[in-house]
Structure 1
Amino acid sequence: MSSVSKPHHEACDTMSLNLDQLWKEQGDGKIRVCTLTPKYLNIVWGNDDRYWKIPKDDKGKELEGLAELVQVSWLEVTGVVPLPEVTVGKKYKVRFQVSLMAKHATSWGSCPVFLMAKVGKKGKYSWKRIKSLNLRSSGDDEVPFLIPDKDDGELIVTVTSGSADNNLLYFGLYEVWSGKLKKGLKIHHVCISEC
């Protein structure tokens, strides 16, 4: 049994990084992309190795790398990132890169997994049900893939007049409704890009 003073993994602070460290220009420089490793995510039960494996060095300092779900019934992985531009109408796409461990992934075919995001504390959540986990859970490989995928449809959040006064994007991956034990998910990173 793991003895942990705080059972939940708390994200490293993205607010302490400047926008140029977080947001990198991609392609011809017209689109900026932010990639967050699990180090920058809040993971419910993430500090308890009975539920999640998160890479750490010998002194317990967290390393870059993926987070591996051992087993949980309550999946909640969230984060917040400052946006480079919050003009009304500006759009951002949110995706997680994940993989499923072929021999260990269970319950994904019958659990309602959702990805949600909003701009600003008072913003309205946009959400997508992630069906692609259901389709991939029967595979026999661990190839990383993005969710939502083309079959799920993109999750795009738009800066509105009510959210333009706050430059923070809140997002999360959830499955808290079924009560089923879920296993075998690896979270590689979150990708947020301008549209």
Structure 2
Amino acid sequence: MASPHRKGSNIEGILDVKRDKVTVSPLGLDITWGGDSRYWRIDARYVELIQVCWLEVNGSVEMKHLEKSTKYKLEFKIRMKPDAFGWNDSPVYIMAMPGKKAKCIWASVDLSRIKKSEQESSLIPPRLEFTTPGPESFHEDDRMSFGLFEIWKGRWKGGLVIEGVIISRA
């Protein structure tokens, strides 16, 4: 039986690595309930939340794509569709963890305040900053993990479009 969850792909093109920025395509994201078309629409350019009451989107990049002892910011590039629903009083949490021994860093964002649009994207949160480990604990084979969550309220929500994740120097 196929899983209702979607595992992100590791094929080429999922990551766009430039000197000061790593962009993760929506196809590189692990999405709880993302394998079920009743809940998510998957496209090469975006993933669209139809409806869920458990929002969990995760991803990671190899630390070799980031510099040691460097401050970065993590942002999700999103849109809120005009018919978006269920986001009032449901803060979304964004997490970054630069390496398996690193401390998890969290920020919350109120998606009900994001302008609803079919075309205009926003970067959220405005700034979730983290610093990569120094040479003594930096391992290139380690991973920088990140996520987007709203799993506590149990309310149905929809209309969120994720266009990618951007990790760039702060």
The two structures have a TM-score, normalised by structure 1, of: 0.77
Any idea what SS the aligned residue of 1:110 has?
Answer: coil
Which residues of 2 match residues 67-86 of structure 1 at below 5 A?
A: 67-83=47-63, 84-86=65-67
CA apart distance, 1:86 = 4.6
Any idea what SS the aligned residue of 1:177 has?
Answer: coil
RMSD: 2.1
The aligned amino acid for 1:101 is K
* 1:182 and 2:161 correspond: no
Q: For residues 160 and 8 of structure 1, do their structure 2 counterparts lie closer, same or farther at Cα, with a shift above 3 Å needed?
A: same
Q: Which residue does 2:98 correspond to in 1?
A: 119
Q: For residues 163 and 47 of structure 1, do their structure 2 counterparts lie closer, same or farther at Cα, with a shift above 3 Å needed?
A: farther
2:42 corresponds, among 50, 54, 59, to 54
Q: Which residue does 1:156 correspond to in 2?
A: 129
Task: Tell me which structure has the larger Cα radius of gyration.
Answer: 1
Q: Which residue does 1:145 correspond to in 2?
A: 122
Higher strand share: 2
CA contact (8 A) 2:39 2:51 kept: yes
CA contact (8 A) 1:123 1:163 kept: no
Deviations 1:136-190 (A, max 9, x none): 2xx45232111012xxxx1011123585235421000000000000111000111
CA distance in 2, matches of 1:165, 1:68: 34
CA contact (8 A) 1:86 1:164 kept: no
The aligned amino acid for 2:122 is F
Q: Which 4+ stretches in 1 moved above 3 angstroms?
A: 160-163
Any idea what SS the aligned residue of 1:78 has?
Answer: strand
2:7 corresponds, among 7, 10, 15, to 10
**Count of residue correspondences:** 165
The aligned amino acid for 1:6 is S
The aligned amino acid for 2:4 is P
CA contact (8 A) 2:79 2:116 kept: no
Query: Mind listing any 5+ residue stretches in structure 1 that lack a counterpart?
Result: 26-31, 56-63
CA apart distance, 1:85 = 3.7
